[in-house]
Amino acid sequence: MQDEPTPTELIKAVADFLRNEIAPGIKGHNAFKLRVGINALDLVTRQLALAQGSDAAEAARLKQLLGADGPLIELNRALCEKIANGAVDLQTPGLSEHLWQTTMDKLAVDQPNYASYKRELGKK
């Protein structure tokens, strides 16, 4: 185990440095590429912070829905197959809630500033 700073802290520090110290002096296409890089670092920071918990919750919901155990990728594959062959649909208890929560968890990582995501968070 390493001491501080953590990987998340390091990535955030680099992103903040680029955003606050470097970006103001960059123009044109390089400014765009720099923003893309900063956004990628921000995304990785959110993945490190959120993905493990949301993946565990998703796997637990899938185990309940499918009555099966296994790695998350296999559980998702099994759900997709059941949806494709009509074995489960939106009338299946828990499926729509699972799909909604999984979408919200993924948006928290990928697009936390997405207007519709923010609006849905406000409804809770």
Of residues 18, 68, 78, the one with CA closest to residue 42: 18
Domain span including residue 83: 7-122
- Cis bond before residue 5 (omega within 30° of 0): yes
Look at residue 97 and tell me if it is in a domain.
yes
Residue 84: exposure state from Cβ atoms within 10 A (0-12, 13-18, ≥19): exposed
Look at residue 62 and tell me if it is in a domain.
yes
Look at residue 79 and tell me if it is in a domain.
yes
For the chain, the straight-line distance linking the first and the last C-alpha, in angstroms and rounded, comes to 37
Distance CA 84, CA 52 (A): 28
Model pTM?
Answer: 0.82
The count of structural domains within the chain is 1
Distance CA 97, CA 61 (A): 9
Look at residue 1 and tell me if it is in a domain.
no
Look at residue 47 and tell me if it is in a domain.
yes
Look at residue 2 and tell me if it is in a domain.
no
Provide the residue-wise pLDDT of the chain in tens; the chain has 124 residues: 678 899 999 999 999 999 999 999 999 999 999 999 999 999 999 999 999 999 999 999 999 999 999 999 999 999 999 999 999 999 999 999 999 999 999 999 999 999 999 999 988 6
Distance CA 97, CA 103 (A): 10
Look at residue 114 and tell me if it is in a domain.
yes
Cβ proximity of 46 and 34 under 8 Å: no
